[in-house]
Amino acid sequence: MTTSNKTIKKSDKIIYWVSTSLLAAFILPGIFFLNSPIAKEGMAHLGLPNWFAMEAGIGGFIGGLILIIPMWKRLKEWAYVALGITYLSALIAHLSVDGVKAGSFAPLITFAILLVSYIYYHKITD
């Protein structure tokens, strides 16, 4: 390996861990707010039942944990897929209910960070 390849590899690791840490900082605390009035109101606004909020919240928390634990390569793949589906489904739900507004596209920001994490995960592990 040349010096420039080591620099690229180090920068890839930094990008991976920064993007993955941002995701974790967004995803993991959500478990503590599943029953909050704001969360319940948001789900009701989208026409989703409370049980679905619990399922999505707990699933997201587990997925977030899997992303930051440095093992379980195959499980990480599934976590990336599940979280990606979650954020794209949130985008569809917001667009369906609220129409095209700036706030409707918020799930795309999280999806973009997830995509960066996924790409750089493969750069540092493959």
pLDDT digits (tens, 9 = 90+) for 49-73: 989 999 999 999 999 999 999 888 9
Angle between helices 106-125 and 73-98 (to 10 degrees): 160
Q: Does the residue 103 lie in any domain?
A: yes
Q: How confident is the model at residue 7 (pLDDT cuts 50, 70, 90)?
A: low
For the chain, percent of residues with pLDDT exceeding 70: 94
Is position 75 within any domain?
A: yes
Say how far apart CA 76 and CA 40 lie, in whole Å.
29
The two tokens of residue 56 are 């999505």
Q: Determine the pLDDT at residue 3.
A: 46
pTM of the model: 0.86
Higher pLDDT, 6 or 39: 39
Within a domain: 96: yes
88 located within any domain: yes
